[in-house]
Each structure stands twice: as structure tokens, then as C-alpha cells.
Amino acid sequence: MALHSGRDLSFRIFLKTLLLSGGLAFAIWAAYVGELVLADFQQQAHQLSGVSSLPQDIQLNYGLSVVSAFDTPEGRLSATEYVDKGSAIFWQAWLNHIVDFYAPPYFSGIYWTPDATLYVPLANEPGAVLSGDLSILISQQIPATHGVIRSFAVMVVLLPFFITFAMYRQRSKLSRQARALASLAAKQAGLSSQFRLNNDTATVIETAVKKLSSKLELQNEAVNAAHLADKLTGLANRQQFQLALEKAIQQADEGKQKLALLFIDLDGFKQVNDTFGHSVGDGLLVEVASRLNAATRSSDTISLTAGETPAFQRTLARLGGDEFTVILSNIQVLEEAEQVSARIIELLEQEFRFGEHRVNISASIGIAVYPQDGQSPENLLQMADVAMYKAKSDGKGTFRVYLPEMGREVRRQHYLSNEIRRAVNDSEFSLEFQPIIEIASNQIAYFEALLRWHHPHEGQISPGEFIPIAEETRQILPLGDYVLYEAMQQMEQWNRAGLRKARVSVNVSSVQLKQLALREWVEQALQKTKLPPSCLMIEITESYLMEATGDIIAQIDALRQMGVKVAIDDFGTGYSSLSSLASLPIDVLKIDRSFVNKASSGKKYRRILASIVALAKELDLTIVAEGVETAEELELLKSMKCQYIQGFLISRPQTSKRLNHTLFNKRLSQVANSGTGVWSEKEGML
């Protein structure tokens, strides 16, 4: 048997193939991933009564429905239901044209159907082959009325039309099923005898075919379920999730009920992949799915009142990556969804173990409720996604319920992300510098470079608003390049102007640390400005430094080996223990302003601040107190032997132009501790 592409065959060639010299050709066509595939073989027609020989070998290797040639009084195609109604109409018109054009005595009709059971009621069929999971009914040489012998051939193939090429390749199990279902063999040696069917035999065949159809239907369901399941976790995949959400919304409308959609994103999953590899990452996703299943069982998760448990139904899905969803149908009150979310967060914060590896993550969850938060599946998912990002921006490891103002925030973020790209090209960003003062000498130790954005229509936009968006959109990479090079060039200018030992501190984001070859990036800036490594300090936030992978820690340590100082910024806002500081490659500890501000008014925070300063000294770390605003705070820090301070008490961030005026023209005397907002330039600095 030969296989040909239908697109390579002209209509005339097909007709020649269909009607072979001296016999009858079976033409079998199927839609196969957008292609038409033709399989043809010849069955000799004998002008004899009785049963002729079956083909020696019939082999089809594709899932398809079959076109069969046989005798009908009308001489027309009779099409049954098919998955594609347009295809059925096409086949009917095209094949009938063939019948009209070529109508030899032994060939008077073509019949096409994916349903073999339609053939069974026909009596007096001369031959049949039933083989395991497959069924072929072949009729040949039916004696016609009035003594006229006409060839009559029917071939019916029971094949599931839904098996697609993608599914065929996707799983080896489905591949084996597809090959088994699509492989047909009717061999002379395998037949013990040929017999003519009577009505009783036809009934037996009908029963067998019905049983086989039921079996294929079950296989249908199994293949369909496999196609709609996430291959890693076994949860519903995105396609099944969409179907389930549509159905849940329809049921909610019919029963006038509410449903909640939970959008779950894992915090720290990428770090797990980067640190331990994808095998541990995949194992983590599987275990997360298991814990989600446990957390959402209504029988042991929620009890709104004593002895009462909710009757909600749940559907779990993995959309891809580390994103999961939970559909809670038939909820009575919002608190049900909130309690499920809290339970999920609680379970996912418990430690995961994979061999010798211990993994800790958290989850951010957004909740949207139908119908008030969204009228369509797409809109409801979008609102849950918006709420999830709000949970992340509020510190991660928590859940947030969608509120209308969140939608405004998302639109604002989208607007700013586009504006940042434009502003980078239009050079709207600039730097301001805030001095870090050594308390003992009142000399400037560093200038911290701070990024500013003056929008042409909105004016100054807060870094707290645009920097997180720049990080999310990776625009922080070109912005980071600008900050480093601009700051280094300013130090080089001040050095040439006579400000000896001018040094700058630059903030580096987690995105930069992940994407850049850190040492090479810094070396290029140093070479371009011809400055020594000692003129530069890199600041990294505590929250990211505690999660940094081994490779990133090694890069940071390489900077220290060059002579670049490394500071841990905003210390006290993350989750690091004081003992963990000893293992980090840092030189400077910058205490967050919240500790400084609270220490002057509360004994508890004063003791915490004193403990941090004392431990940092034991670890030989330089201490910088951020956010110093009052003389009282300064005196307290002096009493604790804190070495450096930074804040509005000393100076607000200023442009380089204004600093030039202060540094080189004013020549003010020491007033750093007077609260006037300026500092002294000692002889050693100018």
C-alpha cells in the first residue's frame, strides 16, 4: 500500500488511482494535521458468486476515518455526523462528483463514515474480521437481484478521529495507543476460514461491534483526560482550566451562586531552580500540587461555625511554570476563599525536603470573585492576577482580594512601563547624590548615587514607584548601566577638581545580579573612568542577598577581592539572622531607617539597634545608620559607637551641580551636628 500527500496529486491522477485496471480500488482519505493523506490498494473483483480472497496485507498507520466504495441504489455519498461539518459537506460534493464522472457497472456509490455500527444491520455480508481492539468489516461480491453479479465492497475502520499528531508525539503511551488503534491487518494466513454471514451471524457481529465501540469510548475518555492534564503534576492544564472555569461560571449563573478564583504564584521558585537544578524544581512543583490538594479539601480546611463545613467544589490547575489556580465553586461567603488561601500559604511555607536539599518558599495569592470582579473567564483570571501582584508588592507570602483600585494600579504600572522605555531613550533620568559622613571626623566617606526621573508631564516620579516596574520589565538593566557610568564619571570629575578620595555607592538590583557578569561589568566602568576599585561601593538589599545563589555570592566576593566594597542595604527589613552575617561577603552593614527612627523613642528598638551595632563590630563590619533626621538620633548613635551616618540631618540628596557649589565655593565650618542640614569640608577632603 502506498501513502501519498493529497496536495501532490491532481484530480486526474486521483481518478486514475481510484479505478485501477481490472479491479476495484479503495480510496482512503483523512485529515492529518492540515494535510490530506491518500492510502490506496487494489482488491481484484471476481465475477463469481461467493467470497473472494481477502487482501494479503492491509496496513494503515494513522488515526483516521475511512472512505469506502460500495453499491447503493442512489449512487451517492451518505455522510454521517463528523467532528467537522464543513469537511463532511466537502467530501459529499467531491466524492459524488467522482461517482457521476466514473460509474462502471461494478461501482455505483461511495460511502464515508467514522461510525462502523451503521453497517451492522445490513444482512448477507459475506465476510468479517474481528481482531482484538480493532474491527474490520469487509463485504465483497454480493450477488445482486435478477442474476446480475456486481462487485460490492465495504471497509469500515473503527478509529478515534480525535488522535492528533501533537498527541501522537507528546506521550509514548498515547503513541502506542494510536499505533495500535490505527494498524489494520487482514492476512490470508490469519483467517481459519471464510464464511457467508446470515442474519444470526450479523447479530453476533453487531454485539461485538457495540462492545468494541464502548471500549473505544472509554479509551476516548482516557486519551482526552491525558490530553487535558499537566504532565508534571497531574493537575488540570491551562486548557482544562479554561473549560472548567467556563463551566463553573455557567453553573454559578444557573444556581445564582458565587465562585472564587485563586491565582497562586510561588515566591522564590526561580532561586530553587538556579540553586539546586531543574530536577529539584520539578520535584518541588509536584509536591506543591500535593499540598494544594490537601489545603483545598473542604472537609478538613474550613469550618465557618461549629459543626458546619462548606459545600464548595474545587478545581486545581497548573497554568505553567510556578503558576497555579484554584476554582472554588458554590462558595457562600468570601471568608471561605480567604481561609483556603491562608491554609495554602501555611502549608507551602513548611519546609520541603529533597534528599539532602532543604527548600523553603512562600506563595502570593490573588482572589477574584464571580460575578462582581469579572463577568468572563478571561476577565476573572486577569483580576485574580492583579490581586496576586498586589500580594507580591505588599511583601509576598500573603493573599489579597481584588479591589477596583487595583485595576487602576495595573493600568498605571502598564503606563509607566511604556514611559520608562521612552524615558531611557530620551535621557530623562538623572542622578542625585547624598553624602555618607564619618561621625568621628565629619568627613565625607561616600556619596550614594540615587536615580531620579523628571517626567515631562508629571514632574518628579518617586523611585519607589518606577524602580520596581523597571525591575519587572528588565529596564533596570540599561538604567543600571547609566547609574554606574554616570556616578563613576562624576567621581572622576570631582577627583580632577581636587576632591581627593571621592567615592561613590551604587545600588545594584537582583535583576542586575542575575543577568550581568558582575565583575566584568564593574571592571569596564573602572577602566573607562580610570578610577581605582576602592572608589566604588556596591549596595545590595538584605532580602535579596539572603536568597542569592552560590554563583552570585561568588561574583560578589570576586568584587571584594578586586577592592570594591560591598554593603548590605536596608538591614533589618529582611529575614536574615544576625549569625548569618558572618557567612556573607560584605564589608558594610547599613541599618534601615526604621530601626534608627524607633530607637530614640522605645527601649526595645534601642536595645535591638545596640545589639546590631555590637555584633557588626565583632564581625569587623563597617556600620552606616540610614535615615538620621534629628540631633537626638545622632547623639544616640554616637553613644553606641556607630561609625557612619546618612540622612536629612546631614543633607538631602542633591544634584552634582548644587553639590559643586557647596563643595567648592561655600567652605563652611563644621555644622554637621547642629541640625542645619549641611556638613563640613575638612582640609583633608578639599
pLDDT at 602: 76
Instruction: Determine the length of the chain.
Output: 686
Q: How many CB atoms lie within 10 A of CB 653?
A: 17
CA 278/CA 269 separation, integer angstroms: 10
Query: DSSP per residue over 383-425, as a string?
Result: HHHHHHHHHHHTTSSSEEE--HHHHHHHHHHHHHHHHHHHHHH
**Crossing angle for the helix pair 476-497 and 518-529, nearest 10 degrees?**
30
Contacts of residue 103, Cβ cutoff 8 Å, sequence gap at least 6:
75
CA distances from 209 to 61, 83, 112, 137, 153 (A): 21, 21, 18, 10, 19
Cell numbers that stand for 611 in this block: 545589639
Q: What is the pTM of this model?
A: 0.53
CA 130/CA 137 separation, integer angstroms: 8
Distance in Å from the first CA to the final CA of the chain: 94
CA 28/CA 47 separation, integer angstroms: 24
- In degrees and rounded to multiples of 5, residue 317 shows phi and psi of -150, 150
Query: DSSP per residue over 8-36, as a string?
Result: GS-HHHHHHHHS-TTEEEEEEEEEETTEE
**Residues 166 and 181: beta-carbon distance below 8 Å:** no
- In degrees and rounded to multiples of 5, residue 48 shows phi and psi of -130, 150
> Based on the number of CB atoms within 10 Å of its own CB, is 179 exposed (0-12), middle (13-18) or buried (19 or more)?
middle
**Residues 511 and 471: beta-carbon distance below 8 Å:** yes
**Residues 452 and 478: beta-carbon distance below 8 Å:** no
Q: Return the half-sphere exposure (C-beta side, CA atoms, 13 A cut-off) of residue 173.
A: 7
CA 83/CA 46 separation, integer angstroms: 37
Cell numbers that stand for 165 in this block: 499528531
CA 158/CA 541 separation, integer angstroms: 65
Q: Residue for cell digits 547624590?
A: 433
Q: How many CB atoms lie within 10 A of CB 428?
A: 16
In the chain, the domains with their CATH numbers are 2-226 (no CATH), 238-402 (3.30.70.270), 427-659 (3.20.20.450)
pLDDT at 433: 96
**Residues 518 and 478: beta-carbon distance below 8 Å:** no
CA 667/CA 499 separation, integer angstroms: 13
CA 247/CA 251 separation, integer angstroms: 6
**Residues 544 and 513: beta-carbon distance below 8 Å:** yes
Helix ranges restricted to H, 578-651: 593-599, 603-618, 631-639
Helix (H) / strand (E) containing 461: strand 459-461
Q: b vs e for 501-530, b when ≥16 Cβ sit within 10 Å of the residue's Cβ?
A: ebbbbbbbbbbbbbebebbebbeebbeebe
SS3 of 241, please? helix
pLDDT for 211-246, tens place per residue? Answer: 545 555 555 555 555 567 888 888 999 989 999 999
SS3 of 654, please? strand
Closest CA to 469 of 479, 456, 460: 479
pLDDT at 633: 92
pLDDT for 445-474, tens place per residue? Answer: 999 999 999 999 999 999 999 998 998 888
CA distances from 359 to 125, 513, 585 (A): 68, 21, 22
CA 600/CA 647 separation, integer angstroms: 15
Q: b vs e for 314-326, b when ≥16 Cβ sit within 10 Å of the residue's Cβ?
A: bbbbbbeebbbbb
CA 120/CA 197 separation, integer angstroms: 11
Closest CA to 62 of 187, 226, 183: 183
pLDDT at 590: 93
Percent over 70 (pLDDT), the chain: 60
List the chain residues with pLDDT less than 70: 1-227, 298-312, 573-579, 664-686
pLDDT for 173-216, tens place per residue? Answer: 433 443 343 333 232 223 222 333 334 444 444 454 455 455 55
Strand intervals (E) in 132-281: 134-139, 154-157, 258-267
pLDDT at 399: 97
Q: How many CB atoms lie within 10 A of CB 86?
A: 8
